[in-house]
Amino acid sequence: MFRAWWMFAVYGVLAIAFGVFALAQPQSTVWVIIMAFGLLALGDGVISLLSVLRKDIALPNWLLLVYALASIGFGLLAIFRSEAVATALVWLLALWLVVAGIARIVFAAMLRRMLQGNWLLVLSGVLALALGILFLARPDLGVAAIALWLGIGALVYGLLQILVALYMRKRVGAAVLTR
């Protein structure tokens, strides 16, 4: 497990890069996220709609058609009614953060015998949980504020992941020396 330290480092660097962008461009961050989801769903819907005409698709045509129409509908909604999608994203993000925070805290508790630096993982879980609860309690904070909080959270979370990675890398080095 400790040999996978680099995955924590990569995730930490990506989180920090996202955090810097979100703090520098909060409105753009939200718009980019919504447009990316919208374009992805629209493209997926069009491809799925075209696939209804093919005979070698494993899904039943009715299911593929329903999926295609739902994807196209969501894509168009995200592109043309981004405010509604932003509100829905705030709620989904809040729920995801709560689940992610709980999962990290439980994971850290499970690792407490193997990893002395698990308090960093607990701290990242507490941060995710706190942000999730904040977003559930105060959805009126606004999309730009959410982007700013996401940026701050991503920076702190990224730093914590890099610290976990460095600790794990140190443990790998110590294990090699003791062999």
Enclosing domain of residue 49: 2-178
pLDDT value of position 178: 61
DSSP 58: S
82-110 vs 143-178: helix axis angle to the nearest 10?
Answer: 30
Q: Are 98 and 70 in contact (CB under 8 A)?
A: no
Say which residue the tokens 């499970």 belong to: 110
Give the number of domains in the chain.
Answer: 1
1: confidence class by pLDDT, cuts 50, 70, 90: low
- pLDDT, averaged across the chain: 86
What DSSP string describes 81-149? -HHHHHHHHHHHHHHHHHHHHHHHHHHHHHTTTT-TTHHHHHHHHHHHHHHHHHHHH-GGG-HHHHHHH
Return the biggest CA–CA distance within the chain.
Answer: 63
The 10s digit of each residue's pLDDT in 74-108 is: 999 999 998 888 878 788 888 999 999 999 999 88
Q: Is the pLDDT of residue 19 over 80?
A: yes
The 10s digit of each residue's pLDDT in 120-131 is: 889 999 999 998
Q: Are 16 and 155 in contact (CB under 8 A)?
A: yes
User: pLDDT > 90: what percent of the chain?
Assistant: 45
DSSP 55: S
pLDDT value of position 179: 59
Compute the residue count for the chain: 179
